[in-house]
Amino acid sequence: MKAAVIVFPGSNCDRDCKVAVERSTGSPVDMVWHQETELPKGLDLIILPGGFAYGDYLRAGAMAALSPVMQAVKAEAERGTAVLGICNGFQVLCEARMLPGALMKNAGLKYVCKPIELEIANAQTRFTAAYGSKRRVTMTQGNGMGNFVCDDDTLDRIEGEGRVVFRYVENPNGSARDIAGIVNERGNVLGMMPHPDRAFEEELTSADGADLFRSVMAAA
């Protein structure tokens, strides 16, 4: 199994993601600079990490969505490769139109950084299968623009299609319908605001994030 982490100028969780995947799954991880136009061959997982790509200039994720590497990421996603966008990575996926909706400023207009309890809304995805019967997990939230918004028709559709993967037990940022993570129609692209890469060992308060990485690599 093999993964890659895309590094944008302003990414600050790229190394966290690399270590999390390596320690959780034993899989090698390539670091790919955003100006590359090709990705390594044989990838099973591509991660868009958290941080502040391009300093969140214009809108969070807006400039990163236009980086040269994103054409290759889209092509891999169309081939069925798993893509995971965490925090800023979720923002990039929405700006790149790989996922619906947008991430706005938190309802309280404050940066939120703390452990967050999540409900697994769909345990049958390639990102959640390893959780088994477990339905609540703890990961770490760290964002100022984590308020997921979408029009009601789209919200109804993604809920009806089982594309809401994680919900907040106590919503920290005002996200519509407590949504913390969603997948695309095909189920191979997941965007989520909480950080599994900050919760993959008990020393980090929770090891629940490790099962997400194990799930997707096992599914590959």
Q: If we measure between CA atoms, which residue out of 20, 23, 8, 15 comes closest to residue 60?
A: 8
Catalytic residue among 13, 87, 94, 150: 87
Annotated catalytic, 87? yes
Annotated catalytic, 34? no
Active site residues: 87, 195
